[in-house]
Amino acid sequence: MKIPGRKKFIVTLSKVTLGGVAAIGGLAILARTLRRRSPPLVLTGLEPAVLRPPGALEEESFLARCIRCTRCQDACPTGAIRLANPQDAIPTGTPYINAHEVGCNLCLACTETCPTEALEPVFKKDETRMGLAVVDDRTCVSLNGTGVCGACFTVCPFRGKAITLGLRNAPTIHKDFCVGCGLCEAACILKGVKAIRVFSGRVWA
């Protein structure tokens, strides 16, 4: 009589299968919620797409490789790299740079410490492509004729190449040299929505 053994086997097998199906189903639901995309890149929109640390791959590959280990944040000496919280639009735990507050000073320590090369090693500061700065000529003090500023030019690590100043310190961005570090956005003298903002992605690279 092998029936008890067989019965036990069938019960175990069904338990395992049910557990597996439940687990995979749960993972699938989680995957759907986590795959919420960052807002589409519209230059006239109010919020720029999220800025990733230097050396980051394109969004899709970056999210695949990044294991959300927080090491890049620990390596950042200026506190520019922040971690997404669950209420944010990007997957929780992934690093981003809020250029509104602090820009990246391109020390590239995060690319050295990244364990998965989700932030690929970048060896020269000017080879980084995090995004592109865009000036809003309606709000920029120098461009709309209400004053003379040039704060973005002063902090730009590639001033003269990435940003040049024109009449009354009106900034012009040169996309071949702009690395998208966000220092200019952090330095912009406007409160609230800044006149110069960094849009992420390698679309312009």
- Chain contacts with another protein (rule: CB under 8 A): 12, 15-16, 19-20, 23-24, 27-28, 30-31, 34-35, 60-61, 63-71, 73-79, 82-83, 85-87, 91-93, 101, 113-118
Alpha carbon distance 100, 144 (integer Å): 21
State which residue, 9 or 204, has the beta carbon closest to another protein.
9
Q: How far is the CB of 18 from another protein (least distance, A)?
A: 10
Count of residues for the chain?
205
Q: How far is the CB of 150 from another protein (least distance, A)?
A: 24
State which residue, 33 or 44, has the beta carbon closest to another protein.
33
DSSP structural state of residue 77: S
Give Cα separations from 57 to 11, 88, 148 (angstroms).
47, 20, 37
State which residue, 107 or 205, has the beta carbon closest to another protein.
107
Distance of CA 16 to the CA centre of its chain: 40
Alpha carbon distance 52, 58 (integer Å): 9
Q: How far is the CB of 170 from another protein (least distance, A)?
A: 31
> DSSP H helical segments within 35-120, as ranges?
59-65, 71-75, 109-113
Q: How far is the CB of 173 from another protein (least distance, A)?
A: 27
State which residue, 76 or 135, has the beta carbon closest to another protein.
76
Q: How far is the CB of 145 from another protein (least distance, A)?
A: 32
Give Cα separations from 137 to 31, 117, 145 (angstroms).
40, 37, 10
State which residue, 118 or 132, has the beta carbon closest to another protein.
118
